[in-house]
Amino acid sequence: MRVTVVGGGIAGLSCALSLHAAGFAPRVYEAARKVEAVGVGINLLPHAVRELAELGLEQELAAVALPPHRLSYRDRAGTTVWEEPLGRAAGHRWPQYSVHRGRLQLLLLAAVRERLGPDAVRTGLLFQGFEQDADGVRARFLDRSDGRPVVDTAEVLVGADGTDSVVRGRLYPDEGPPNGNGVHMWRAVAPHPRVLDGRSIVVAGGIPGAKFVAYPIGDGATASADTLVNWVMEVRHGQDGPPPGGPGRRVPAAEARAALSSWQLPWIDLTALAERSPAILEYPMLDRDPLPRWSFGRVTLLGDAAHPMFPMGMNGGSQSVVDSRVLAWCLASDDDPVAALERYDRMRRPTVNAIVLANRELGPEETIARAEEHGGPLPHAAAERIAARYKRLTGATVSQVNTHPSWTVPTAAPGGEPVPVPARRPGPPQTPAPSRPIAPGTTDGA
């Protein structure tokens, strides 16, 4: 079966690898003229790391990413509100990983080209639309280099082209723009001495628009060298709205220093962080309303194209990886691609729609918002209930991750349910290579 994947980001490339592992021949079309290592940090939770490990990327991930050991919620003065272990420290068989988004994307791109061939990902092609019939789907693209039309025919079309998905726009032409909550994120990476134990994700503050996040995504060459720290500062701009420049506005270091000066976090030098950041870029926090369906005949949605969500629980990218594995399994388990896409829709959409709505209610970060209202840490049982509820919803409890049946498809009979296939137990992690700062930016290589 030939599958056209629109979008060469993390979702689209994970989809291509999952489809190839299931025996299909995917082709990826990306609008950017070149896929480059741009962006900032991203977290892959253990349920996503398991899926990538089963695709044979275990060692590659360990070489470019860092495994955080704990999540630490703090108030604006830096005092601990709630902490919990992460990854293997929490009992998962697979680690959680913090990684530079650009490095992860290039890792996936290299794997796609190695396994599917150098021409499996075509860049500089803008998706225009599609037509489908009983025999297949015809996707239309515009070549950005010369303006000529390009047509691709396949049995299935997957829209994995992000929050502003053109594929989604063709399926839902009256949807309108994404939803904002008034919060804008200043995002950057910078070299900095280790924060706390050097393996912590720190979320400080309270309600959205009054939070600061920091975590390492790359170690220095020695234990005493600076690490590469990903940081996010949330801001609100008041009644006058956001400053001119739109998404991706470059925030001057002086403006960042002024905003960070109101924070008192004794374990991090916020002034140095702002000064050392090659670029500080501003993006609005956005999501979209959950959809009543993703699949229309031979066309479906995946990743942020299907479920863009507020970044409250580090789940957007991880759920995209799981989408990809489930989609490949469904297509391999049914001779009828239309029925397979409907099954994928039924299996994934209700769960991820619920996560989108939960993130609007702060997801696990309800803990620090309520602590701010409470004037101090919540009772342990209350904080634990919030954390456990969100993990169950997202499929991220230790039991769910360690024991659920594998989505590896060769042992799945057509029409049946996935059967338990023990995944390879992860080997010892490799030491990540020393990192250097990479400026954040868009995925468009224009």
Any idea where the domains of the chain sit in the sequence?
A: 179-287
- Taking CA atoms, 375 is separated from 17, 257, 372, 379, in Å, by 48, 27, 5, 12
Rounded Cα gap, residues 1 and 223, in angstroms = 49
Q: Hey, what are 434's tokens?
A: 């020393």
**Average of per-residue pLDDT across 374-381:** 89
> What does the pLDDT look like over 73-88, one tens digit per residue?
999 889 999 999 999 9
Judge whether 75 and 368 are in contact, CB under 8 Å. yes
pLDDT of residue 285: 93
Confidence of residue 431 (pLDDT cuts 50, 70, 90): very low
Instruction: Supply the DSSP symbol for 3.
Output: E
pLDDT of residue 244: 62
Q: Any idea which residue has 């456990």 for tokens?
A: 388
Percentage of the chain with pLDDT > 90?
79
- Judge whether residue 186 has pLDDT over 80: yes
Helices (H), 22-57: 46-54
Identify the residue with better confidence: 416 or 99.
99
**Average of per-residue pLDDT across 290-295:** 98
Number of C-beta neighbours around residue 113 at 10 A: 16
**Average of per-residue pLDDT across 167-176:** 97
pLDDT of residue 34: 86
Percentage of the chain with pLDDT > 70?
89
Judge whether 248 and 299 are in contact, CB under 8 Å. no
Confidence of residue 442 (pLDDT cuts 50, 70, 90): very low
> What does the pLDDT look like over 317-360, one tens digit per residue?
999 999 999 999 999 999 999 999 999 999 999 999 999 999 99
Instruction: Supply the DSSP symbol for 304.
Output: G
Tell which residue, 196, 264, 208, 277, has the closest CA to residue 236: 208
Q: Hey, what are 256's tokens?
A: 């960042």
First to last CA, the chain: 32
pLDDT of residue 315: 93
pLDDT of residue 446: 35
Using the Cα atoms of residue 365, residue 316, residue 328 and residue 114 in order, give the sign of their dihedral: negative
Phi, psi at 182, each rounded to 5°: 85, -5
Confidence of residue 417 (pLDDT cuts 50, 70, 90): very low
Phi, psi at 322, each rounded to 5°: -65, -40
Judge whether 220 and 242 are in contact, CB under 8 Å. no
Judge whether 148 and 15 are in contact, CB under 8 Å. no
| Mean pLDDT of the chain, nearest integer | 89
Confidence of residue 150 (pLDDT cuts 50, 70, 90): very high
- Judge whether residue 38 has pLDDT over 80: no
Number of C-beta neighbours around residue 333 at 10 A: 20
User: Read out DSSP for 174-199?
Assistant: T--SPEEEEEEEEEEEEEESPPTTSS
As a residue count, the chain comes to 446
pLDDT of residue 247: 75
Class of domain 179-287: alpha beta
Rounded Cα gap, residues 143 and 274, in angstroms = 39
Rounded Cα gap, residues 314 and 427, in angstroms = 25
- Judge whether residue 103 has pLDDT over 60: yes
**What is the widest separation between alpha-carbon atoms in the chain?**
63
Judge whether 148 and 74 are in contact, CB under 8 Å. no
> What does the pLDDT look like over 348-358, one tens digit per residue?
999 999 999 99
Rounded Cα gap, residues 318 and 352, in angstroms = 11
pLDDT of residue 157: 98
Task: Give residues with Cβ within 8 angstroms of 72, minimum separation 6.
Answer: 80, 82, 83, 196, 200, 201, 202, 203
Rounded Cα gap, residues 345 and 281, in angstroms = 35
Judge whether 158 and 130 are in contact, CB under 8 Å. no
Q: Hey, what are 56's tokens?
A: 């044979």
> What does the pLDDT look like over 93-102, one tens digit per residue?
999 999 999 9
Number of C-beta neighbours around residue 254 at 10 A: 10
pLDDT of residue 112: 97
Q: Hey, what are 108's tokens?
A: 């996936």
Confidence of residue 413 (pLDDT cuts 50, 70, 90): very low
Long-range contacts of 335-339 (CB under 8 A, 24+ apart): 335/414, 337/1, 337/155, 337/156, 337/298, 338/297, 338/298
pLDDT of residue 241: 58
**Average of per-residue pLDDT across 103-120:** 96
Q: Any idea which residue has 């789940």 for tokens?
A: 315
pLDDT of residue 438: 39
Confidence of residue 224 (pLDDT cuts 50, 70, 90): confident
Confidence of residue 221 (pLDDT cuts 50, 70, 90): low
Is this prediction's pTM over 0.85?
yes
